[in-house]
Structure 1
Amino acid sequence: MSRKLKRSIALAGVVAMASLGLAACGGADDKAGSADSNSNEKVEIEYLHRLDNADDAVKVQTIVDKWNKENPNIKVTPKKFDGKAQELIKKVQTDTDAKNAPCLYQAGYADLAELYVKGLVQDVSKYATQYKDKYLPGPFDSMAVDGKYLGLPQDTGPLVYFYNKAEFDKLGLKVPTTWEEFTTTAKAAAEKGKYIVAYEGDEGAQIFSAMTAAAGGQWFGVEGDAWKVDTTDEGSASVAALWQKLLDEKSAKVVGRWADEWAPAVQKGEIIGTIGAAWEAPLIAGDAPDQSGQWAIAQLPGGASGPDGGSGVVVSKTCEHPEQAMKFNAWFNEQVDDLASQGLVVAAKATPKAPDYAKFYGGQDVIKEFTTANTNMKPFTFPPSWSVPQGYLSGEGGAAAGDGTMKVADVFKNSGDQLKDALKKLNLEVK
């Protein structure tokens, strides 16, 4: 691998950020997706997604049916993937090798560099740029890697604070506005058997990285021709210390976000607050429907936020109809009211109406709260092979910090060491 190509791949990850106000770097030409399609040709497009199909959400099939009725020459078939995001990437890789990957598939901003390096997507810049004005600039440019746009953005995932206002009022607690207040309030609540925050080991990668971004930290970056990896900078250290204090003082409920124990803990009034991505709003509402009207949403202490999730829809390397696929892609991601019902914080500029789940939050203007978090969201760089530290932070490492067998700061350091090794295996230079 040439030094020039190494640098090109290294730079790829820099622009794969779930943030606002980031521009893509320039890159080499790519022949993939460069041929124009006959727009009158009847084609079939498959769209693989991980969107919610909850009872109170507009079903993806319902949205697609509207498209198919109005666009008989471009028939779209949606298929839901119920596995984890990392498993979806493995499926797409297998399907790509067999040359039968879906034309469109959902991909997190954090995964784009890896998808690009593995050759699982194609350059659709000539089509994407036609729709640029329809999207917020940050999410739009987050779909570019090495100067090539791989698809269009669908949603963002800024961290916010969810809390049971009724329970806070009963305990005489106020929503913390600083992290110092947060730990003090958490300790006071825990002494009464209530938890204003949960330590979610299975969401470690997302929560830790997003909170680090909010704290002004940055784990990964590029200096010259080399990747710089540092999971121990000032912002990282402050986040690690915060969680360590909460764990040491037993002020946080240790429970997996996706564990069977989560919802019952909320229903019993044991968990009365949690730090989570904006897209979790309808999920929390579904966890404890009997508490409708009691909960509310606030900004994180300090006001800054970081990216937890957020995704776009990319065009697969084997898609034979990129132009038509992108027409549907643009249309689908502009169905903001329907997507908001799914719990998405849309990347399109159009403002959706208040979703039904807003009733759970006392009729609060949840869209306004999410917009504020989006505005205050700080960037985080996702490198190639992000799946390696991600798996550790949300797996073995996250669990070890939760059960007290490892310090949070050590988990951070180990994740950085693992990423360095993974980047070296890609023949990338590492500082």
Structure 2
Amino acid sequence: MRTNSRRRIVAAVAVTCALALGTTACGASDPADGSAVKDVASALEAGGKVTVWAWEPTLKKVAADFEKKYPKVDVELVNAGTGDKQYTALQNAVAAGSGAPDVAQVEYYAVGQFAIGKALEDLAPHGASSHDQTFTTGPWSAVRYDKGIYALPMDSGPMALFYNKKVFDRHGVAVPTTWDEYVEAARALHKADPKLYITNDTGDAGATTSLIWQAGGRPYKVEDTKVGIDFGDAGTAQYARTWQKLLDERLLAPVTSWSDEWYKGLSDGSIATLSIGAWMPANFASGAPAASGDWRVAPLPQWTRGAKAGAENGGSSLAVPKASKNKALAYAFIEYATTGAGATARVSEGAFPATREDLESKAFLETAFPYFGGQQANQVLADAARNVGTGWSYLPYQVYANSIFNDTVGKAYVSSTTLAQGLDAWRNASAKYGAEQGFSVGK
């Protein structure tokens, strides 16, 4: 849904970029002088204060562990709001020239927006380039922009199919392995009980782009100030055709995700599946405790039978704003929080790892989930992480693009507009905005 705060964020960042187009490519890295890596060790020795803006709860343990390891360092965790609320505060601080944190949590889809506005430090000179093999493909690609590394991945959201086994067993419906089977399962469940839906959907930009990603669609191309937006590829068309069937036959619950009604649907089984990121298990346990033991995790249905294609849905990184007064110490903290002992500690607190090492650890893979009937669900989720499709890009103003999703694609949920028509309208509106901000936009 469009919000004024999101408009202000992207407008301010994009205008900064547009003003810079005549002198340098947006997102270009500052030259590395080789001294920054040494500065990190010196900063830890000297100590000081690091202010971290983040809403992710596992960072509390990380901060405590970091302070214990480096007694001269004081980590101040500040919850400046979730998502766009924090982004508004961050952009206001950047614009004012004061009050910015040393570290900020930034979701993957928003990294490019802040990087291109030169609001984030390029971390490559600080040592981030050494982590080229540390993280899984999707998160690592999401924090890189125009040869720079603008954050380190904090978690990961490879998609899987969470399904209510009790509901499927009761009605004798097989768990779908393809999207065609998914449509058939949706019909069978709704026919068996008109109050039962295979999933909910009222229009969600992140879910839509993730399923397009899995289908092989690559609608966004970004190179310096050149932006390509094209929803006419085969993968996008395949997604639109399939999802249109679910809309036309009214097989999707008209329930907004994260609402009380949504959690009720997950609890009573009237919402039978979720195709969502691997970070979801903790939300099941806290939001729908009554359904403990009913749900299981399976691989995401495939667009082509026998394939193992995946995509990311959600996830966040830790970045160092350009306005940080202590960049070397800030980098030391985010490196600790996202790799090695810090990453392992976060996983033990319930985060889904973005690091290859943690994904492959025996303890992680053999964790049994009581909520999922004792299933070792991480084995499914880790496999999903290994099969995330490469080559995906977000727009450098994706926050704005997502904010107009319901004004374009969202019409397919409430009118005779088709998804294909809605996607075309989304493309045109996003392209128009990009051109107004100084980008060269084509297909």
Instruction: Give ranges in structure 2 of 5+ residues lacking alignment.
Output: 1-17, 303-307
Aligned partner of residue 410 in structure 1, secondary structure: helix
Cα distance in 2, alignment partners of residues 75 and 373 from structure 1: 37
Alpha-carbon spacing, 1:397–1:363, altered in 2? closer, same or farther (3 Å): farther
Q: How does 1:68-79 map to 2 (within 5 A)?
A: 68-79=67-78
- Structure 1 distance, partners of 2:315, 2:174, is 30
Q: The residue matched to 1:373 in structure 2 has which SS?
A: helix
Equivalent position of 1:197 in the other structure: 199
> Out of 382, 392, 396, which is 2:404 matched to?
392
CA 1:6–1:170 in 2, change beyond 3 Å: closer, same or farther? farther
For the Cα contact (< 8 Å) 2:299–2:380, is it kept in 1?
A: yes
Q: Confirm whether residue 377 of structure 1 aligns to residue 388 of structure 2.
A: yes
Counterpart code for 1:100 = G
Distance 1:423 1:287, change over 3 A: same
CA distance in 2, matches of 1:206, 1:344: 20
For residues 95 and 3 of structure 1, do their structure 2 counterparts lie closer, same or farther at Cα, with a shift above 3 Å needed? closer
The match for 1:95 is 93
Residues 276-317 of structure 1: CA distance to partner in whole angstroms, max 9, x if unpaired? Answer: 111122112322212212211111111322121222111011
Q: Which residue of 2 aligns with 1:310?
A: 315
Partner in structure 1 of residue 108 of structure 2: 109
2:25 corresponds to which letter in structure 1? S
| CA RMSD after TM alignment | 2.8
Instruction: Please give the TM-score of this superposition, normalised by the length of structure 1.
Output: 0.86
TM-score by length of structure 2 reads: 0.84
Secondary structure in structure 1 of the residue aligned to 2:46: coil
| Local SS of the residue matching 1:271 | coil
The SS at the match of 2:227 is strand
| Cα pair distance change 1:176/1:360, threshold 3 Å | same
Matches of 1:169 and 1:356, distance apart in 2:
25
Q: How does 1:145-160 map to 2 (within 5 A)?
A: 145-160=145-160
Letter in 2 for 1:309: G
Q: Deviations over 1:136-163 (max 9, x none)?
A: 4553353222212223111121221110
Q: What is the aligned partner in structure 2 of residue 121 from structure 1?
A: 120
Q: Pairwise mapping of residues 22-421 of structure 1 onto structure 2 (< 5 A)?
A: 29=31, 36=39, 38-39=42-43, 40-51=45-56, 53=57, 59-83=58-82, 85-98=83-96, 99-127=98-126, 128-132=128-132, 134-136=134-136, 139-191=139-191, 192=193, 193-201=195-203, 204-222=204-222, 226-302=226-302, 303-334=308-339, 335-341=342-348, 343-351=350-358, 353-354=363-364, 358-379=369-390, 380-393=392-405, 395-397=406-408, 399-421=410-432
Is the 2:292–2:370 Cα contact (8 Å) retained in structure 1?
yes
User: Which 5+ residue runs of structure 1 have no aligned equivalent?
Assistant: 13-25, 54-58
What CA deviation, in whole Å up to 9, does each residue of 1:5-25 have, x standing for no partner?
68933xx5xxxxxxxxxxxxx
**Distance in 2, Cα, partners of 1:425 & 1:79:** 35
Q: Tell me the CA shift for residue 131 of structure 1.
A: 4.5
Q: 1:343-395: CA deviations, max 9, x gaps?
A: 432112322644988221122222221111111211421121112221122x3
- For the Cα contact (< 8 Å) 1:190–1:250, is it kept in 2? no
* Bigger shift: residues 261-270 or 206-215: 261-270
CA deviations over 1:82-132 (Å, ceiling 9, x no partner) = 43x223222111112232211111112221221012221112212223444
Match of 2:13 in 1: none
- Whole-angstrom CA distance in 2 between matches of 1:130 and 1:79: 29
What amino acid sits opposite 2:145 in the alignment?
V
Distance 2:309 2:55 in 1: 28
Asked if structure 2 preserves the Cα contact closer than 8 Å seen for 1:212 and 1:239, the reply is yes
Structure 1 contact 7–226 (Cα < 8 Å) conserved = no
Shift of the alpha carbon at 1:224?
9.4
Q: In structure 2, do the counterparts of structure 1 residues 337 and 3 end up closer, same or farther at CA, with 3 Å as the change threshold?
A: closer
* Matched residue count: 406
Mapped to 2, the partners of 1:196 and 1:101 lie a distance apart of 44
How far apart are the structure 1 equivalents of 2:186 and 2:217?
Answer: 24
Match of 1:308, SS state, is coil
